[in-house]
């Protein structure tokens, strides 16, 4: 770049003013060694509108349940918890909300973040502002590739494609002799990534499997009549579907209306997120259904899970979905990390010591033991199984229940997904 001297001088002057401003404005930033009394402010980002609003609501409810529980037990190191809730919307506005939580409200930690488009933007902002950020459900992956392999402050959710990988592993076990597969997913990265991963895994188990149709309707579509007609025409043995919102219920209904699953097997990798809307009247038995990282009706579930499900049902008249577990794990692991970093002196630790304590930390969450991998990715179990009508509810549940760990189904730190799958011993 060339430019004349006057503009350079002008620019340097501006730069000086800018640096001065930055120095001045830093006065309002939180002091490095934090005050050790008064409430702990915890920032929460949650989606309130749009397709993912129910997911956001579930995460917030679990966080509030956790906060109440901890406060009743005396808070964290004796400090009561104060949640500061802001809305996750589009990336631009959410980045602004995140900055507000850190710079204005001066929270100790930010919890939340669901949509990948948003969390991709939040990651670098958390690093810049030097505040721990624990994401409920969002990663910093672009497609299936990590963009922030060695973050200091950002803690990320499980890789998006894991549930499709788990479903790919379980498909040959429950549906023998599958030769042709059709796929439908939402037209965005999650839908595409799930479909690619599912195909890669299934090919490893069934070498002559053919993928005969792929459909990607826009997220938020409420009529799948044309899609179902195309799926019927494909005459595939099995349909793989990665819908996770109201559209999972809708496609189930509209498929039942034309008897689709009378002739076809079905794999719904993520529909367990809206499990209590999958009524028995239109959801057949014998489908593979994924509940992500928490199954509310786990026969081996802990007393904590049972208590949570009971109180959630009493308060909201719904059965909790998996997002509750992500949110609970984030909040609870933060608390444990603070206590660990405080040491026997019980002195409130600096943020940098808290993030160190989080690395590799394992705690008891709603669904059982969950941990943070050293590179800040969640490790946990995935719950999938075959739908059944044999239960006390008006919606389907699963049995037998399969539990697959991320140790088996998530790519190890630093590896490439498809190379990793290609290297499996099957």
Q: How far is the CB of 232 from other proteins (least distance, A)?
A: 8
Nearer to other proteins (CB atom), residue 21 or residue 36 = 21
**Number of residues in contact with other proteins, rule: CB under 8 A?**
89
Question: Using CB under 8 A, which of 5, 218, 300, 390 touches other proteins?
Answer: 218
Question: Using CB under 8 A, which of 5, 26, 390, 425 touches other proteins?
Answer: 26
Nearer to other proteins (CB atom), residue 92 or residue 425 = 92
Nearer to other proteins (CB atom), residue 15 or residue 413 = 15
Nearer to other proteins (CB atom), residue 189 or residue 397 = 189
Q: How far is the CB of 95 from other proteins (least distance, A)?
A: 5
- Window 131 to 190, contacts with other proteins (CB under 8 A): 142-143, 147, 187-189
Q: How far is the CB of 390 from other proteins (least distance, A)?
A: 18
- Window 49 to 108, contacts with other proteins (CB under 8 A): 49-51, 53-54, 56-57, 86-87, 90-93, 95-97, 99-100, 103-104
User: How does strand 265-268 pair with strand 362-365?
Assistant: unpaired
Cβ atoms < 10 Å from Cβ of 110: 29
**Please, which residues have CB within 8 angstroms of residue 175's CB and are 6 or more apart in sequence?**
237, 238, 265, 267, 288
Cβ atoms < 10 Å from Cβ of 387: 24
Contacts with other proteins, 184-203, as mask; x by CB under 8 A:
---xxx--x-----------
- Window 227 to 256, contacts with other proteins (CB under 8 A): 227, 229-230, 232-233, 245-246, 249-250, 253-254, 256
Rounded CA separation 366/370 (Å): 9
Question: Using CB under 8 A, which of 34, 35, 150, 226 touches other proteins?
Answer: 226
Rounded CA separation 139/203 (Å): 26
The total number of residues written for the chain in this structure: 426
Rounded CA separation 197/269 (Å): 12
Starting at the earlier edge strand, list the strands of the sheet with 368-372.
362-365, 368-372, 378-379
Instruction: Please give the backbone phi and psi of residue 421, each rounded to the nearest 5 degrees, phi first.
Output: -65, -40
Does residue 281 interact with other proteins by CB under 8 A?
yes
Q: How far is the CB of 202 from other proteins (least distance, A)?
A: 21
Residue with tokens 């809305």: 87
Nearer to other proteins (CB atom), residue 245 or residue 269 = 245
DSSP strand E in 33-173: where?
40-47, 81-88, 109-112, 133-134, 141-142, 145-146, 154-155
Nearest-5° Cα angle at 55, 280 to 312: 70
Q: How far is the CB of 146 from other proteins (least distance, A)?
A: 13
From the list 43-51, 264-272, 304-312, 339-347, the region that binds other proteins by CB under 8 A is 43-51
Instruction: Please tell me whether residue 122 adopts helix, strand or coil conformation.
Output: helix
Nearer to other proteins (CB atom), residue 192 or residue 370 = 192
Q: How far is the CB of 258 from other proteins (least distance, A)?
A: 5
Rounded CA separation 351/332 (Å): 16
From the list 23-31, 64-72, 285-293, 396-404, the region that binds other proteins by CB under 8 A is 23-31
Q: How far is the CB of 42 from other proteins (least distance, A)?
A: 15
Rounded CA separation 120/42 (Å): 21
Whether omega before 400 lies within 30 degrees of 0, making that bond cis, reads yes
Q: How far is the CB of 49 from other proteins (least distance, A)?
A: 7
Question: Using CB under 8 A, which of 68, 128, 285, 364 touches other proteins?
Answer: 128
Nearer to other proteins (CB atom), residue 174 or residue 188 = 188
Nearer to other proteins (CB atom), residue 26 or residue 176 = 26
Does residue 401 interact with other proteins by CB under 8 A?
no
* Structure-token pair, residue 169: 């592993």
Q: How far is the CB of 252 from other proteins (least distance, A)?
A: 10
Nearer to other proteins (CB atom), residue 262 or residue 390 = 262
Rounded CA separation 54/275 (Å): 12
Q: How far is the CB of 33 from other proteins (least distance, A)?
A: 19
Residue with tokens 């660990």: 340
Does residue 285 interact with other proteins by CB under 8 A?
no
CA dihedral 127, 143, 100, 70 (to 10 degrees): -80
Question: Using CB under 8 A, which of 174, 205, 211, 216 touches other proteins?
Answer: 216
Q: Radius of gyration (Cα) for the chain, nearest Å?
A: 23
Q: Are 83 and 44 in contact (CB under 8 A)?
A: yes
Q: Which residues pair with 395 in a beta bridge?
A: 279
């Amino acid at each position: 770049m060339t430019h004349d001297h006057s503009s350079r001088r002008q620019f340097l002057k501006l730069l000086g003013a800018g640096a001065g401003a930055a120095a001045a404005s830093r006065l309002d930033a939180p002091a490095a060694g934090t005050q050790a009394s008064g409430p702990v402010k915890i920032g929460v980002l949650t989606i309130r509108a749009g397709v993912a609003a129910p997911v956001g609501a579930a995460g917030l409810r679990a966080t509030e349940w956790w906060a109440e529980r901890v406060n009743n037990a005396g808070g964290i190191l004796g400090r009561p918890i104060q949640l500061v809730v802001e809305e996750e919307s589009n990336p631009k506005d959410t980045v602004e909300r995140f900055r507000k939580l850190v710079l204005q409200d001066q929270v100790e930690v930010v919890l939340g973040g669901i949509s990948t488009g948003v969390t991709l933007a939040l990651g670098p902002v958390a690093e810049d502002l030097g505040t721990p950020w624990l994401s409920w459900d969002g990663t910093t992956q672009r497609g299936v590739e990590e963009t922030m392999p060695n973050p200091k402050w950002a803690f990320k959710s499980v890789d998006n494609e894991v549930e499709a990988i788990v479903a790919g592993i379980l498909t040959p076990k429950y549906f023998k002799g599958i030769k042709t597969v059709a796929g439908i997913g939402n037209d965005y990265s999650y839908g595409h990534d799930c479909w690619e991963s599912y195909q890669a895994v299934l090919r490893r188990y069934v070498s002559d499997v053919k993928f005969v149709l792929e459909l990607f309707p826009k997220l938020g579509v409420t009529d799948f009549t044309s899609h179902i007609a195309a799926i019927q025409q494909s005459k595939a043995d099995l349909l793989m579907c990665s819908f996770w919102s109201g559209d999972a219920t809708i496609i189930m209904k509209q498929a039942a209306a034309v008897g689709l699953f009378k002739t076809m097997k079905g794999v719904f990798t993520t529909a367990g997120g809206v499990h209590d809307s999958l009524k028995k009247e239109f959801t057949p038995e014998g489908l593979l259904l994924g509940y992500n990282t928490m199954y509310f009706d786990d026969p081996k579930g802990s007393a904590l899970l049972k208590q949570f499900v009971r109180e959630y049902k009493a308060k909201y008249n719904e059965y909790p979905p998996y997002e509750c577990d992500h949110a609970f794990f984030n909040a609870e692991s933060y608390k444990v990390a603070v206590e660990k970093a405080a040491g026997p002196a019980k002195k409130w630790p600096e943020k940098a010591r808290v993030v160190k304590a989080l690395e590799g930390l394992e705690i008891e969450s709603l669904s059982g033991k969950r941990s943070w991998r050293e590179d800040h990715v969640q490790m946990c179990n995935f719950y999938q199984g075959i739908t059944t009508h044999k239960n006390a509810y008006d919606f389907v549940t699963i049995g037998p229940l399969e539990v697959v760990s991320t140790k088996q189904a998530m790519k190890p730190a630093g590896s490439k997904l498809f190379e990793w799958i290609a290297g499996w011993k099957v």
